């Protein structure tokens, strides 16, 4: 029987009984918003928990289970979802210890959102969106969202060395440029703060008009040198820890990462970043490897329009930047490898143009080849290995 235009349509009930209570967590420093959808109910309930209060959170979970049990006469497990953010993975580990909790951490950018110019965004709306996403994912829709793999504390800790060194290097560049800028304003162009005789040369400097460096300016530069020397000491300490980690003789992850050092052109820093940021994970194929690094292509196809937008950049930015840098070095240190020949042939086909897009393509191919080498021992064709 057709429905008339002026007749109100009955709302179709959404099937929510998937054998669990679905819970989303919106985490902030002061408050955790718990949004729940229980079997036998079509409305989502919301509860506020003090930020960081694990006991209060589990008490809220117990209350949800008791209410669902009184309604359906069955004790349901919980499926909990939260966004990957500043809280890291510690809460996911706490929840995963309980057998009645299935904990998931979702990549926020993978959830489909309205494309309106001005869309409403609140913790309440985000909590409901997470509930719908995890329910679709549990129903077997893999593209509803992308779940983040929960790393072990050891895997997270091994990444700290490479990331800390990158931060220290950036601070070193800042102080070096600061010192050079101060001296350049006085007409001094040839001072190198990273030389060992930096303090002795500072006393010998003369400005562009023949004066010695003024007292307060020299004092400011000396304080900059103090901070620079502290950074240099810390960088050496981090590099020593990194080298000790890579030189362990065992079947653990550091030993597998050390296999990258056998390839000419890959040093300790590259080997550490490549393994700790990506190659320690399990991948089923090379497409997954490229997608994790954000080096997968992004086609745009609609009707007769078919063009390429470049790489997605939706992966690990540190791994992607390292691979692009390594691709340039690969051409220099591995001139007779099959990948280098492939790159040069493509460049010659385009009359020497499109080097930058093609270096990204080389980085994608090189990452897949390194993954095969680390995981299966397949040596890259034509690659030169270091002598013992």
User: Per this entry, what is the length of the chain?
Assistant: 388
Q: Does domain 21-144 have CATH number 3.30.70?
A: no
User: C-alpha 363: how far from its chain's center?
Assistant: 17
Q: Under a CB-based contact definition with an 8 Å cutoff, are residues 278 and 292 in contact? A: yes
User: C-alpha 39: how far from its chain's center?
Assistant: 36
Indicate if the pLDDT at residue 7 is higher than 50.
Answer: no
Instruction: Place 5 in a pLDDT band, splitting at 50, 70 and 90.
Output: very low
Q: Nearest-CA neighbor of 87 among 170, 26, 3, 152?
A: 26
pLDDT per residue as tens digits for the range 261-292: 899 999 989 999 999 898 988 899 999 999 99
pLDDT per residue as tens digits for the range 46-67: 999 999 999 999 999 999 999 9
pLDDT per residue as tens digits for the range 206-251: 999 999 999 999 999 999 999 999 999 999 999 999 888 887 644 4
pTM equals: 0.81
Q: What pLDDT score was predicted for residue 371? A: 95
Instruction: Place 6 in a pLDDT band, splitting at 50, 70 and 90.
Output: very low
Q: What pLDDT score was predicted for residue 41? A: 84
pLDDT per residue as tens digits for the range 342-372: 999 999 988 888 888 899 999 999 999 999 9
Q: What pLDDT score was predicted for residue 152? A: 86
pLDDT per residue as tens digits for the range 128-174: 999 999 999 999 888 888 898 888 888 888 889 999 999 999 999 99
**How far is the C-alpha of 186 from the C-alpha of 212, rounded, in Å?**
10
State the average pLDDT for the chain: 89
**How far is the C-alpha of 121 from the C-alpha of 127, rounded, in Å?**
10
More confident residue, 184 or 18: 184
Q: What are the domain boundaries of the chain?
A: 21-144, 155-246, 253-376
**How far is the C-alpha of 127 from the C-alpha of 316, rounded, in Å?**
26
């Amino acid at each position: 029987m057709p429905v008339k235009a002026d007749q109100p349509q009955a709302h179709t009930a959404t099937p929510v009984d998937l054998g669990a209570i679905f819970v989303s967590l919106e985490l902030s420093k002061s408050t955790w918003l718990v949004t729940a959808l229980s079997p036998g109910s079509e409305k989502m309930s919301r509860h506020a928990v003090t930020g960081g209060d694990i006991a209060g959170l589990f008490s809220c979970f117990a209350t949800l289970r008791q209410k669902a049990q009184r309604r359906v006469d069955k004790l349901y497990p919980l499926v909990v979802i939260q966004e990957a953010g500043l809280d890291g993975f510690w809460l996911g580990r706490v929840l995963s210890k309980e057998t009645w909790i299935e904990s998931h951490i979702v990549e926020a950018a993978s959830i489909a959102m309205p494309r309106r110019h001005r869309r409403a965004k609140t913790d309440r709306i985000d909590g409901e969106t997470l509930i719908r996403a995890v329910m679709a994912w549990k129903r077997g829709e893999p593209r509803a969202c992308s779940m983040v793999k929960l790393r072990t504390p050891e895997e997270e800790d091994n990444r700290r060395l490479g990331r800390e060194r990158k931060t220290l290097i950036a601070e070193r560049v800042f102080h070096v440029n600061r010192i050079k800028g101060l001296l350049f304003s006085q007409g001094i162009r040839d001072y190198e703060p990273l030389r060992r005789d930096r303090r002795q040369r500072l006393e010998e400097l003369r400005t562009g008009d023949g004066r010695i460096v003024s007292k307060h300016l020299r004092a400011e530069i000396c304080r900059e040198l103090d901070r620079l020397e502290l950074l240099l000491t810390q960088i050496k300490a981090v590099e020593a820890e990194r080298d000790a980690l890579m030189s362990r003789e065992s079947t653990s992850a550091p030993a597998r990462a050390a296999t990258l050092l056998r390839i000419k052109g890959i040093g300790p820093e590259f080997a550490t970043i490549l393994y700790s940021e990506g190659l320690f994970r399990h991948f089923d194929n090379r497409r997954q490897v490229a997608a994790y690094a954000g080096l997968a292509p992004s086609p745009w196809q609609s009707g007769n329009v078919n063009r390429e937008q470049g790489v997605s950049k939706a992966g690990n930015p540190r791994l992607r930047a390292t691979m692009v840098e390594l691709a340039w070095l690969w051409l220099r240190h591995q001139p007779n490898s099959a990948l280098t020949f492939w790159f040069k042939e493509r460049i010659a086909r385009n009359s020497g143009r499109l080097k930058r897009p093609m270096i990204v393509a080389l980085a994608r191919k090189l990452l897949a080849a390194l993954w095969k080498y680390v995981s299966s021992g397949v040596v890259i064709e034509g690659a030169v290995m270091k002598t013992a």
